[in-house]
Structure 1
Amino acid sequence: MNLDNLPRLFPPRVLDRLRELVDIDACLVVSDFRHPEAARALAGTDLLITSWGSPPIDQSVLEAAPRLRAILHAAGTVRGYVTDAVWERGLLVSSMAQANAIPVAEYTLAAILLAGKNAFMLRETFTSSRGAPDPDRERRRDTLGNHHRRVGVIGASRVGRRLLELLRPLDFDVYLSDPYIGPSEATDLGAVLLSLDDLLRSSDIVTLHAPDLPQTRGMLDRRRLALIPDGATLINTSRGALIESDALTDELVSGRLSAVLDVTDPEPLPEDSPLYRLPNVFLTPHIAGSLGNELSRIGDAVVAEVERLVGGQPLQHQVTRSDLGRVA
C-alpha cells in the first residue's frame, strides 16, 4: 500500500470505526509480503485491506495466510493485485471502484460543461491576445452553449453510469454505446443507445468510460476518430490505451478536434509531444480519480464492506473472476 495515501484513506474517524468492527494493526502497512513481520501477521489474518501499490496476492501469500477469507481493495481495479490463486481458493474480493468513480464522473461533467462553452480554447486565445478584441467573436458565439449539446458516453461502467446520473437533470442529448447494454436499459439510464460508430458520428462531445481490456485497446483508431464531427471535443478520463495515440495526435495537430485528456498513452507523454503546446488540448496529470480529501470516501466504503462481512451479509461491491472479462 502507498504509505502517502494511508492517512487520507483512513483518517482517525475511519480507523476508529474499523477498530469497532475488527482487530486491526494500523501501524502495519506491508509493501512486501516476504518481510518477516508481514509473514507473522498473515498467519493470523482473516481479512486483507489492500490499495494502490499493494504487492500481488499470489500462492505464496495465501500459503502464509491459512485463515484469510476476504480481500477488500481500497482502490479501483483489482487487476495486478488479485491473482488466479485467490479465485481458486474461493476468497471473497471487493473493490471500492464505485467510490473512486464519483470524482472521475464529476471531473468529466465539469469538462463537458466547459467544452460546450469552448472554454478551453477560448481561454488560450484570450490569454495569448492579452484581452485584445476578437474579430471572430460573434462567429465563435454561434457555436457555444450546452442546450441540447450532443454528448456521447462510451461505456456504461461505474464512472459512465454515475456520469449519466449527473447529466440527467441537464439539457443535453445523451447517447450511449456499450455492448452489454440493451435499448431499454439505456433509456432507463437517460440515454439513447447507439453503435459506437453511430455515436461518434452523432456527438459534439465524446467521453470515454470503457475498461482497459485487450478488446478495447485502441478502440478509437484512425478510422473511428475520423467519424467524429469537425469541431467536436474528445474527453478521456479512463485509460490512454483506449485511443490510438498517433492517430489522436494527428487529429489534434490538424486542429479538427479538441481534447480534454487526463490520461494518455504513454503516461506521461514524451517531453517533445506536440500535445503540450496545442491550444485545443487541455492536459491534466491523471487527477480525475480520488485525491486528497476524496480518498476518505474510499475508506468509508471499506468500513461499510467490513460491516457487511462481520454481519454475515453479502458484500455490496464484490468482484468475481468472471467480472474481469468486462470491467476494469
Structure 2
Amino acid sequence: MAPSVAARILDADARARLSALSEVDLGLIAADFDTPKARAALADAEVLFTCWGAARVDEAVLTAAPRLRAVVHAAGSVKHHLTDACWERGLIVSSGAAVNALPVAEYTVASVLFANKRVLQIRDAYRTERRSIDWDARYPGFGNYRRTIGIVGASRIGRRVLELLRAFDFELLVHDPYLTTDQATALGARRVDLDELVRRSDVVSVHAPELASTRHLLDRRRLALMPDGATLINTARGSLVDQEALTAELAAGRLHAVIDVTEPDVLPAESPLYELPNVLLTPHIAGSLGGELRRMVEHALDELERYTRGVPFAYAVEPETLTHSA
C-alpha cells in the first residue's frame, strides 16, 4: 500500500494485532516491489496485506514470491492490483468490499430522505427569506411517504441500500441484469427494466460497477425519462452517468442530484455543478473515511486471523464475479 495510506489505517492497536498474527516487518510499507528490501521480503512472503496504492501483483512479482498463498485487502475492489496471474496461481483473496459498502449505503439513504424532503431547497429559501413560509404550497407533495425509489445495481451496496430502505414507506424498484424476479422480491423490491425504473422513480440511485458495458448507463435519453423534480444519486463511478447531459438537466432546473463521484474525479473549477442550488456535490466521501477506516482494518485483520487458523475467508473474492462486479 502507499505509505500515506498505512499511516492513516494502521494505528497502534492495528499494528499490535498484525504483529501478534504474523511475522511482519512493520517498517516495510511497499508502494512497489522494485526496491531491494521489498524483493527480499517477497521471497519469504506467504500473505500480502494490501490497501489503496498497492502495486500490481503480476507474473514477475509472483515469480519473486514462490511462497505467496493469499492476499488480504483492507479496502474494496482488488481489480486495481491483482492480475490474472494471481488467479492462475490459485491465490486466495479477501476483500473489504462488504464492509466498505456500509458507509456508502448510509450516505445514500440519508440522501434519499433529504432529497424527498427538499432539505437543500428549503434551507436556501429559509436562509434568504427568513420568514414563515407555506412549504406545502411551495413544494407540493414534498416528503417521503409512498415515494418510489429506484436502485440501479443489486451490488453489495445496492442490496444494503434496499435493506435499509425497507424500514420506510417507499415503493422499491431495482434493475440488475443478473438479478432474478424472486431475488428482487426477497430484497423487498420489484425487478424492472432500466427505462421503467428511471421513468417511475422519484429518486434514482446508482450502484452498478464500472465496466465497459456500464459507461453512460444513464445517458441523455434515460435522463430525459426521469420525472420533473426527480433526484439522481450517484455514489458509484462518474462514468456511469453522462455528466454533460446531467449537467444540462440540472442547469435547466428539471432534475436534482446528489453527486459523490464525477468524471474527472475532481471537476474543473469552472464546472457549474459546484454552484447549482439543486445539486449536492461531495468529493468522493461516501465510502470509508475517517473513523470508518478502522472498520475496514479490523475486518482485514479478522480475515488474516481466519487464515492463520486454517479457516476459509468469510469474504473471499471469487474471480469469476470480477467481470460484472466492482
Spell out, residue by residue over 1:54-111, the C-alpha distance to the aligned partner (whole angstroms, 9 max, x if none): 1111111111111000111111111120012211211112211111111100111111
Counterpart of 1:115 in structure 2 is: 115
State whether structure 2 residue 76 is matched by structure 1 residue 85: no
Residue among 218, 240, 243 paired with 1:242: 240
Contact 2:136 2:142 survives alignment (8 Å): no
Residue among 153, 176, 188 paired with 2:151: 153
Counterpart of 1:131 in structure 2 is: 130
State the alpha-carbon separation in 2 of the partners of residues 109 and 241 from structure 1.
Answer: 22
Cα distance, 1:13 vs structure 2: 2.4
Counterpart of 1:220 in structure 2 is: 218
State the alpha-carbon separation in 2 of the partners of residues 285 and 85 from structure 1.
Answer: 34
State the alpha-carbon separation in 1 of the partners of residues 5 and 114 from structure 2.
Answer: 30
Spell out, residue by residue over 1:189-229, the C-alpha distance to the aligned partner (whole angstroms, 9 max, x if none): 11111111111111000100000001011100011111111
Cα distance, 1:12 vs structure 2: 2.4
Contact 1:8 1:293 survives alignment (8 Å): no
Gaps in structure 1 of 5+ consecutive residues: none
State the alpha-carbon separation in 2 of the partners of residues 8 and 273 from structure 1.
Answer: 31
State the alpha-carbon separation in 1 of the partners of residues 166 and 16 from structure 2.
Answer: 37
| Paired amino acid for 1:5 | V
Contact 1:9 1:297 survives alignment (8 Å): no
* Larger displacement relative to structure 2 (263-272 or 294-303): 263-272
Cα distance, 1:132 vs structure 2: 4.7
1:174-323 to structure 2, matched below 5 A, reads 174-323=172-321
Cα distance, 1:15 vs structure 2: 2.8
Counterpart of 2:142 in structure 1 is: 144
Cα distance, 1:133 vs structure 2: 5.5
Counterpart of 2:15 in structure 1 is: 15
Cα distance, 1:259 vs structure 2: 0.2
Gaps in structure 2 of 5+ consecutive residues: none
* Larger displacement relative to structure 2 (243-252 or 16-25): 16-25
Cα distance, 1:7 vs structure 2: 4.2
State the alpha-carbon separation in 1 of the partners of residues 271 and 139 from structure 2.
Answer: 31
Contact 2:2 2:30 survives alignment (8 Å): no
State the alpha-carbon separation in 2 of the partners of residues 79 and 46 from structure 1.
Answer: 20
Provide the secondary structure at the position in 2 that maps to 1:5: helix
Q: What CA RMSD, in Å, does the superposition of the two structures yield over aligned residues?
A: 1.5
Contact 1:117 1:145 survives alignment (8 Å): yes
State the alpha-carbon separation in 2 of the partners of residues 7 and 296 from structure 1.
Answer: 12
Counterpart of 1:95 in structure 2 is: 95
Counterpart of 2:24 in structure 1 is: 24
Cα distance, 1:17 vs structure 2: 2.7
Provide the secondary structure at the position in 2 that maps to 1:312: coil
TM-score (norm 1): 0.95
Contact 2:228 2:254 survives alignment (8 Å): yes
Counterpart of 1:66 in structure 2 is: 66
Which of structure 1's runs of 4+ aligned residues deviate more than 3 A?
Answer: none
Cα distance, 1:137 vs structure 2: 3.3
Cα distance, 1:141 vs structure 2: 4.2
| Paired amino acid for 1:145 | G
State the alpha-carbon separation in 1 of the partners of residues 125 and 258 from structure 2.
Answer: 17
Give me the identity figure in percent: 50
TM-score (norm 2): 0.96
Counterpart of 2:164 in structure 1 is: 166
Provide the secondary structure at the position in 1 that maps to 2:154: coil
* Number of residues of Structure 1 aligned to a counterpart in Structure 2: 326
Distance 1:248 1:141, change over 3 A: closer
Contact 2:72 2:95 survives alignment (8 Å): yes
Cα distance, 1:300 vs structure 2: 1.0
Cα distance, 1:130 vs structure 2: 4.6
